[in-house]
Amino acid sequence: MKLTYGITDKLFVWFFIIVLIFFGTILVFYIDLQHIVKISANIVNKNNEISAASKKMIENLLSMEENEKKYRLLGKDDYLNYFDTARKDFEGQLKKIVQMEARGMAISDNWKNLYESYLNISPRLRDLKKAQPSKIPWIPVNVINEWIEKIYIARAENEYEVYLATTELNRRGQTSARNGLIGIGVSSMVGLLGIIFLAYTTLRPLRELLKGIRSISQDRFSEPIRIRSKDEFGELAGAFNEMSVRLKEEEQMRSDFVSMLSHEIRTPLTSIGESVNMIAEEVMGPVNDRQRKFLEIASSEIGRIGNLLNHLMQVSRLASSAIKIRPLSIGTSAFVSECIHGMAPAAEAKRIKIEAEIPPGIPNMMADPEHLKQVFINLLGNAVKFSPTKSKVKVLIEEDEAGTDLMFSISDKGPGIQEEEQSLIFNKYYQARRIRGHMDGVGLGLYISKHIVEAHGGTLWVESKIGQGSTFGFSLPTAGK
């Protein structure tokens, strides 16, 4: 069975690795710190104590030698007491050093030899005050000098131990600092790599999903999302792909139904239209004014239904990519003027003035006149339909700086389009919320116009502000391109 890791599992593994490195660094740092504490304690409890005790021992030996000489010279008991006090202090300091071994501390053999030498002499030194002045068992000078020499040697060894210990402390400190920096560096690197990995495995599927969602919101179709991960994003991508396939199937079914319905309705509608025309032409007898008025209304509605069927048929052809463009070199000024003239009755009915700004010497354009006329009629018709009475519609034609494209724009003073809807109005069957329910249309004009312009190699766009009107523009190649 193949293991799969979800987003939570990946986050947990990443967090576990960082925590493991962190506590590993802390553990190594703790071990180094324990060594440092041990070395420091050894210096404080042993080396410093030996250094202080050995210094006193030398002072005591020198004091013993000096008081012996003074006693021999002056014979005062005070010097004998001073001698005995120094001896006892010497013995106490020496025992303190020797007893360190019993506490698990290693000491120099010189201290052991010195202690054995002292033990050999110490019994006869305990009764100095009871002995006769001429028979006091003084410590020989050569023995004192030998002891002092051993103490100096032991002190030197102790100082060397301190030197080695401080060197080891320095090394341990540098090692701890280096290990800490390494731990921080590794943790930072793992954290950065983890963030990059998680960002890649998270943002890439999100971008693919967002791309698919935008594609559906704009074109109602989306290519299958390729997400190979086995986590929640993979499941979401699979569900999205299934939804996309269902949408395509339903869209195809609707397109087929609309195409079939249009064909089925067109024949009887044509018969009805011909019948109405024959009655209006009094083929079947005289028609009074009231009857003629209703016949004109019926003929107008039949024409409107016919136009709607034509739009539905064209949408069906667009869905199957059956639109064919036969570009010709067209006189730009004459073509635009003809389209404006065709919209004049609708504009005059609302007392709207259509103004055209066509620069002199504007080059011809490459376009299919039949399809392009439909684009102009759709855009001009929308501008007139949504403009208030006694307003203006402006048509502007410009040539781009490179001289390869013509830029067309049609501006009105209508209610405007909300910004969040501007990317949706080119979708099939979409109508802006502000006009739903009180404006004619089924939301196909801009959809058809967009596909026609794109089939010519141009683009269709909109600029609009609420309460200030809208401007629809598109580009077409010039005849010399």
Q: Residue 126: which residues within 8 A CB-CB, separation 6 or more?
A: none
Structure tokens that stand for 232 in this block: 């929640």
Structural domain of 136: 7-195
Residues 133-190: tens digit of each pLDDT:
555 656 788 888 888 898 899 889 888 888 888 888 888 888 888 887 887 888 788 7
Tell whether 282 is covered by a domain: yes
What pLDDT was estimated at residue 130? Answer: 57
Q: Are residues 332 and 309 both part of a single domain?
A: no
Q: Are residues 26 and 154 both part of a single domain?
A: yes
Tell whether 455 is covered by a domain: yes
pLDDT category at 3 given cuts 50, 70, 90 is very low
Residue 410 has pLDDT above 80, yes or no: yes
E strands along 379-427, which residues?
392-399, 405-411
pLDDT category at 193 given cuts 50, 70, 90 is confident
Tell whether 1 is covered by a domain: no
Tell whether 227 is covered by a domain: no
Tell whether 389 is covered by a domain: yes
Helix, strand, or coil here: 90? helix
Q: Are residues 307 and 340 both part of a single domain?
A: no
Q: Are residues 373 and 261 both part of a single domain?
A: no
Q: Are residues 456 and 368 both part of a single domain?
A: yes
More reliable by pLDDT, 435 or 80 = 80
Residue 449 has pLDDT above 60, yes or no: yes
* CA distance linking residue 36 with residue 34, whole number of Å: 5
Total number of domains constituting the chain: 3
What pLDDT was estimated at residue 132? Answer: 54
Q: Are residues 439 and 343 both part of a single domain?
A: yes
C-alpha gyration radius of the chain: 54
* The one-letter amino acid at 88: K
Stretch 9-20: mean pLDDT: 79
Tell whether 214 is covered by a domain: no
Residue 47 has pLDDT above 70, yes or no: yes
Q: Is the CB of residue 429 less than 8 Å from the CB of residue 444?
A: yes
Residue 411 has pLDDT above 90, yes or no: yes
- Among 141, 171, 195, identify where a domain stops: 195
Q: Are residues 186 and 41 both part of a single domain?
A: yes
Residue 308 has pLDDT above 80, yes or no: no
Averaged pLDDT score across all residues of the chain: 80
Structure tokens that stand for 196 in this block: 């990059």
Number of CB atoms found within 10 A of residue 343's CB: 19
Residue 317 has pLDDT above 70, yes or no: no
What pLDDT was estimated at residue 200? Answer: 76
